[in-house]
Chains A and B, each alone.
Chain A
Amino acid sequence: MIFGDLGALVTVETIDIGAVGGAVAATGVCEFEFPIVLKGDAGATLGILDTLNRNVVAALEESLLTRSGDAKAAAETLLQTRCGHDAPVEWSGAVVVVQDSLAILEVLITARDDTATGAGYLVRRIADIGLFGAWLEGITGETENRVELTASVLRERPPPIEWSGNTRSVDTIDLLLRLEWMEELSTPTSVDRLLRSPGRVRVLGPSGRVQLLKGN
Chain B
Amino acid sequence: MRLPTPFDPIEIGEIDNFAFDFTADIGAATMVSTSWTCALAPFQTATDPSAQSRILATKLATVIQTRDPLSGALQTRAGSFSVASVGGMPASAAGATYVLEATVSLSDGRVLSLNSTVLCAGA
A residues near B, CB below 8 A?
Answer: 112-114, 116, 119-120, 122-123, 148, 182-183, 185-200
Contact = CB atoms under 8 A, between A and B. Distances in A.
A122 B59 CA distance: 22
Contact of B76 (A122, A191, A196, A200): A122
Interface stretch (B13-21, B34-42, B43-51, B91-99): B13-21
Given A190-B8, A193-B18, 12 more contacts: A112-B78, A114-B76, A182-B62, A186-B65, A187-B81, A188-B17, A190-B17, A193-B8, A194-B18, A195-B21, A197-B20, A200-B1
B25 A199 contact: yes
A187 B19 CA distance: 10
Interface of B: 1, 3, 5, 7-8, 16-25, 59-69, 74-79, 81, 83, 112, 114, 116
Tell me whether chain B's interface is mostly helix, strand or loop, or mixed: strand
A148 to B, nearest CB: 8
B78 A189 contact: no
B59 A192 contact: no
B21 A197 contact: yes
Most chain A CB within a 10 A radius of its CB, from B8, B74, B76? B76
Contacts of A116: 75-76
* 5 nearest A-B pairs in the assembled complex, by CB-CB distance: A119-B76, A192-B8, A199-B24, A196-B21, A189-B17
